[in-house]
Every structure is written in structure tokens, then in C-alpha cells.
Amino acid sequence: MKILDKYIIKKVLTTFLFVVLLFVAIIAIIDVTEKIDKFARNNLGAAKILSYYLDFIPWIAGLITPIMFFIAIVYVTSRLAGHTEIIAILSSGVSFRRLLLPYFMAAFLVAIVSFYMNGWVIPKSNRERLDFELTYFQNKKFFEERNVHMQVQPNVYLFLQNYNNISNTGYQFTLERFEDNRLIEKLTADHIQWDTAKQKWVLKYWKHKKIDTLFTAPAENRVPGALQEPAMATPADTLTQTAAKRQRALRDSASGKASGRNVPRLATRDTGAEIDTTLTITPKDFENNSRSYDGMTIPELRAHIKKLTFRGSTGVQVFQTEEHIRYAAPFTIFVLVFMGVIVSARKSRGGTGFQIALGFLLSFVFILFFTMTRTFGEAGDMPPVLAAWLPTLTFAVIAAVMYKYVPR
């Protein structure tokens, strides 16, 4: 590494840190001003507020890193150009491509640190921030979705008309099992309620229907008049019957007919007032999940997407878009560095002020474009991978055109 490389890298990194600290301080002050009434309303002490902002500041810093690095690049390069240092460097035989090397070295360092922090470190601190905001600023118990459909196991689907987070009660519950695209078992209840002591769901006024006549059982296994839990209520056999059981039931039925014995079949319909059951969902699945992806590391985000996709839940595009954005962010830094050097490497008669203003304008355009594509991706109007990468790819093309045609 040459002295010139160290000189530029040092200037870029120190300016970047200063710009980040400056903007984070401004944003934090504005945020405190907006939330001061909420802090007072909830009687929060200074220690609790300080703890919140210790989690808030890293999140904001990670969020604005690409744009702040771009502004730092524009400022440093325009200052070098204004002092005729860029002209001196190029006149000494250093090519413009070689001049870009220290900028990209600094960008690589910032991109690696940013990717690691946004992917694994900041999400862990965000969990406390999100919990704080849900506790004091929002309603953690609020769940606004109706007609909830989800897949809880292979070929097993759950439906709730609506859910009350305060009492942990769901209404108009239905659980259905399909085999070869044919409904073979169905469990319904007027409502279900979470039992915190047993850590199970309690079904009220339930009906259990087995449509497949292959489900049979010996008569001695049933107690007349007693409320019995259907097979779907046990964790191991939730809405499942193995092929061996059905084959054994058929053999028992056939042998009973051949020997003249009467082997009664399990009633195809059971009802009751109340029964305990184990499901693969808990009340946490019905909590307010506003921006919950901020509290997930990349592996956790990937696992959550897999779970939502398996369940067939709506809103999975929000998490897919966030995952792709985290992977696109480091490349965005390189693209913005390339563009920043190009727009500010030429000495301007208007001084550095014009180039810095141009940098802010381009930053605003990028943020606007990024916000727009992200909204489309989260709404499902655009593929999440395209929504995350389109701003970066668009600005990469613009930077390439500028590199070819803009004089330096």
C-alpha cells in the first residue's frame, strides 16, 4: 500500500465516521423531541431512556451507512479536487482507475463491517428496542388480521376467523387434514383458548369428523358416554394416521366379518364441550409483528421465511425483501463510491459546495428510489429480489455511463 492509498483511506474513513456521528446525533435529537411526551406519559426514567437510545443509535447508524459513506466520498474527493490534488495525482502518471483503488479499499472495509453488524450484531440489540417500542409506544397485543389461514403440518391447514390477543382466544377454529387433495379429517370449535398452566390450547364446543371410513378401532378402546380426545389432539398423532394402522384396521375388520364377530368402527363424528389439544402454534404467532425483521439475524430471517412459506402465510414478501436488502447493501456501497468519485473528481468553478450539493441530491434520489421499490416488494407488486437490487443495479448503470462520458 502506497502513501497515497493510506492518505486517501484515512481521509475517507475519518470523514465517514464524522458524518455518521453528526447525522446520528441530529436524528437522535429529533427522535427525542418527538417522543418526549410518550416518555413522560409512561413515567420512564433517564436510565431506561438512555438504554433505549443505546439500542436505537446502532440501528440508525447501520441504516444510513451507504448514504453517509457516499456523502463522505463526495466531500473528500471534491476537497482534493478543489486543492488541485487530484490533478497532481493524475499528472504524476497515476491512472483514474488506480486512483479508485484506495476508495474501493475503504469501501470494502466499511461494507464488510456493515454487513456483519446489520446481519448479526444490530438485530440482537434491536430486539430490546422493538420490545421497548411495543411496550410503551404501540400495542403489543394488537392483532388486526382476520380470516387467518396457515399450514401447520404437511397437508394440515388451520383457519381462524379472528383472534383476541388480550384473552388469547381464537374464534371459529378449523383444522383440516388432506390426503391426495381429498379432505379426510376435520376438527372444528366455536373458539380456542390458550391455557398458560398446561401450555396447551383448549377447544370449546368442538366437533371432530373423520370422513375416511378406513379409520377403525376396537370397541373396547371407547368408553361409552365419556369425553374422549380425538387422535389429532396428541402431539405425536396430530391429524395423522400411518398406513400401517389403516392396514391393520382393514385386516381386523375383514377377520371380524369372516369369523362372524362384530368389530365396531370408531364413530365418524365426535363432539364435546371442552378438550385439550396440542398445536404447532402459540400465542406468540399472533402478536404485533411490526418491523419484527429488524430483530432477526440473517439465519433467523431465513428460517422465519421458510416457516411462513410452509404455512402459506401472507406477508412473507416483507421478510424476503429485507433479506435481499441486507445482501444488496454492501454492493450498494461500492456503486455509490464509484459514482461519488466520478461526480466530484473534477475541479469545479463553483467550488466544493456545488459538488457536495450534487451529492446530497443524488443521495435523495437514491433514497426515494430505494423506498419506492422496497414498498412495492413488501406489497407483493414486485419480486422481492428485484425490489432489493433494482436501485443498486440502476445506479450502477448510471455510474458506468458517467464514467464513460463525464470528463475528469
pLDDT, tens digit only, all 408 positions of the chain: 689 999 999 999 999 999 999 999 999 999 999 999 999 999 999 999 999 999 999 999 999 999 999 999 999 999 999 899 999 999 999 999 999 999 999 999 999 999 999 999 999 999 999 889 888 887 655 666 788 888 888 889 999 998 888 788 999 999 999 988 888 999 999 999 999 888 999 999 999 988 754 444 444 444 333 333 444 444 334 444 434 444 454 455 444 444 444 444 444 678 999 998 888 888 888 776 667 899 999 999 999 999 888 888 778 999 999 999 999 999 999 999 999 999 999 887 767 788 888 889 999 999 999 999 999 999 999 999 999 999 999 999 999 999 988 776
The Cα–Cα gap between 312 and 315 comes to 10
The Cα–Cα gap between 323 and 392 comes to 15
Residues 269 and 386 in one domain: no
According to DSSP, the residues that pair with 163 across neighbouring strands are 170
Residues 228 and 249 in one domain: yes
Cβ proximity of 123 and 297 under 8 Å: yes
Residues 337 and 386 in one domain: yes
Residues 348 and 271 in one domain: no
Q: Around Cβ 91, how many Cβ atoms within 10 Å? A: 9
Cβ proximity of 336 and 70 under 8 Å: yes
The Cα–Cα gap between 46 and 60 comes to 21
Residues 324 and 231 in one domain: no
Residues 321 and 354 in one domain: yes
The Cα–Cα gap between 386 and 399 comes to 19
- Rounded to 5°, the CA angle 392-396-87 comes to 130
Question: What pLDDT, on the 0 to 100 scale, is given for residue 149?
Answer: 85
Burial class (CB in 10 A: 0-12, 13-18, 19+), 176: middle
Residues 185 and 294 in one domain: no
The distance between the two most distant Cα atoms of the chain, rounded to a whole number of Å, is: 107
**Last residue within a domain, chosen from 265, 286, 307:** 286
Say if strands 148-153 and 162-164 run parallel, antiparallel, or are unpaired: unpaired
Residues 230 and 262 in one domain: yes
Outline where 187-242 has alpha helix (H): none
**Last residue within a domain, chosen from 286, 317, 336:** 286
**Last residue within a domain, chosen from 253, 286, 319:** 286
Residues 269 and 301 in one domain: no
Residues 92 and 195 in one domain: no
Residues written for the chain: 408
- Rounded to 5°, the CA angle 251-254-255 comes to 85
Q: Does pTM surpass 0.75?
A: yes
Q: Which domain holds residue 393?
A: 3-139+290-405
The Cα–Cα gap between 65 and 78 comes to 20
Question: What pLDDT, on the 0 to 100 scale, is given for residue 261?
Answer: 45
Burial 369-392 (b: 16+ CB within 10 A, else e): ebeebbebbbebebbbeebbbbbb
Residues 42 and 104 in one domain: yes
Residues 265 and 325 in one domain: no
Residue ranges of E strands in 147-288: 148-153, 156-160, 162-164, 169-179, 182-195, 200-210, 269-277
Cβ proximity of 205 and 184 under 8 Å: no
- Rounded to 5°, the CA angle 207-210-214 comes to 160
Q: Which three cell numbers stand for residue 12?
A: 475517507
Domain count, the chain: 2
Q: Find, among 318, 314, 294, 382, the residue nearest to 144 by Cα.
A: 314
